[in-house]
Structures are given as structure tokens and as C-alpha cells.
A = this chain, B = another copy of it.
Amino acid sequence: MPTATLLITCPDQRGILAAVSGFVDHHNGSILRAGEHLEPDTNLYLLRVEWDLANFALPDDRIAVEFTPIADKFQMKWRLAFSARKKRVAIFVSKMAHCLADLLYRHQIGEIECELPIIVSNHPDARPLAEFHKVPYVELPLDSSMSKDNKAEVEARQLALMREHRIDLIILARYMQILTPRFIAAYPDGIINIHHSFLPAFIGARPHQRSYERGVKLIGATAHYVTEVLDEGPIIEQDVARVTHHDSLESLIGKGRDLERVVLSRAVRWHLEDRILVYGRKTVVFE
């Protein structure tokens, strides 16, 4: 069934939930799921309301107009999403394709619902996989001998591709290049990265190697929105797996692969279902 979802952030005050649920009810909408969160430290109120559009009295393009007075009254930062409008997603990948393979399989069986017009890579390795799933694969190699110049050019072409394909969400599925602030600024809360450690432990390069050397008893993976500061963006999801002294670096990396694809896919699914709200450095994930 087609639904609409309001995602709202505003200063806490009396009557917000009554106003929003009253708005939906007034126009003959039936609420399917409502979730809210009051952040006591900052007195911030976050709300997500999803309702059935079947008998809703307002046409889609009137909802925002009619809701604006309420939003203004409560000083809301808000957005409106429609389940019928599938988000358009680009996946970036380097050589290791386990996360990509996982996302493509989930997409194929309908577990992840989105448009998937493009995969971007700096390597040719994942092309057969993309072709099997019939997703266009654009290879933009980075020239390390004169990387700086080439990187700017590659990013410009990437951004052009994003625009051309009207991309809403970029997934860095083990894409081993650091994006520039300029690129990131084009997609605020719109780039999801999977980092192969339990952040904020092992920020930066080679977290598996460093986990192994430190002798941790659990390894982790973290899906987060990308911000200008490396590995410091709002965390969406994390999980861990147990390792022991029996684990070689190789088997530890293997356990990491299992973590990464599950953690990334959860974050992607929640984003696509408009279930995430970012506030400051944190996220609310509505159930």
C-alpha cells in the first residue's frame, strides 16, 4: 500500500504529537506507525509518522502545502517521503565485492527496494557481478602516479554521473578512497559508508590489521553517514563478532566480511525506509 511519511525535528513543546496526528486524522488518514524521541540534553523532539494514503483526502502534492502552517508553528525541520517514489541509489566499490554482492542479492529478492541505475568503481574486478545483476558499471580508475590531479577529475565525473542519474543515496560498499569535502557537501546525510571496525576504535586505515595486533576479543563493523571528518559521521548501525587467539589475520578478515555486509545492509534498508533522523552527531533509527 502507498504511504506517506513525515520526519520531523523541532524544539520540544506541548502538543506536537497531537498536532501532527490530528493533521493526518483530519484529512482522513490512518496512521500505520508513529515513533518519537525526546532528547533530554538538547530539548529536541524527533518524530516520524507514517500513514496509509489509500483514503487520504489530500492529493500528494497538497500535503506539504497544508502541513506547512503546523510546521511553522512548532519551528519544525521536516521532510515528507512517499513510499511509491523509490529512491535512486549509486553503489561505489573498489576491489573487495562482498558488500556489493550482498546488496545486489538483497535488491534482487526485494529485501532492499530502490532504483539502482549505476555502480561506480576504480577497479574492473566487480564488473561481472554487476553485469549478472544487469546494473550499469562505470569504471573510473584513479591514477596513483599523479593521483591528485586525476582524483579531482574523477570526482567531477562521479558527481556528474550522480546528477545525471538523479541519485538520492550513495553507498560506499568498501570503496577505499577518501572523498573530498566538496563531494561530501553535495550529499549531506546522503552517503553511507561501512567502516570495518567498531568505531571510534580503529579510525582510519587498516582497522583489521590493527585489531589483530591489539589482541581484541571482538571485532566490529560500523555503518555511518559520511561527513568531512574521517570516520566521525553519525553512526547508523554497529555490530561485533567474537575472535580468539585461534583467529589468524585472514580468518579475522573473513569474520569481518560477514559483519560488514549485514551491518551495511541494515543501514541501507533503514535509510531507504525513511527511518533515520540525524541530530548532531547521532542518529535516531525508528522501529
- Which of A29-37, A113-121, A161-169, A184-192 has 4 or more CB atoms under 8 Å from chain B? A29-37
Q: How big is chain A's contact interface, by range? A: 35 or more
Task: Return A237 CB to nearest CB of chain B, in Å.
Answer: 6
In Å, the complex CA distance between A36 and B24 comes to 16
Cβ contact within 8 Å between B245 and A216: no
In Å, the complex CA distance between A238 and B218 comes to 7
Contact with B along A1-41 (1 / 0, CB 8 A): 00000000000111111110110111011111111111110
7 pairs of residues in contact across A and B, judged by CB atoms under 8 Å: A14-B30, A18-B18, A18-B31, A32-B38, A39-B245, A216-B235, A244-B285
Q: Lowest 3 A-B CB distances belong to which pairs?
A: A215-B282, A201-B201, A18-B25
In Å, the complex CA distance between A245 and B280 comes to 13
A254 proximal to B (CB < 8 A)? yes
- How many protomers of this protein does the assembly include? 4
Cβ contact within 8 Å between B111 and A105: no
A65 proximal to B (CB < 8 A)? no
Cβ contact within 8 Å between A285 and B34: no
In Å, the complex CA distance between A248 and B41 comes to 9
In Å, the complex CA distance between A264 and B98 comes to 17
Contact with B along A219-262 (1 / 0, CB 8 A): 01000000000000011111110101110100000100110001
Cβ contact within 8 Å between A283 and B132: no
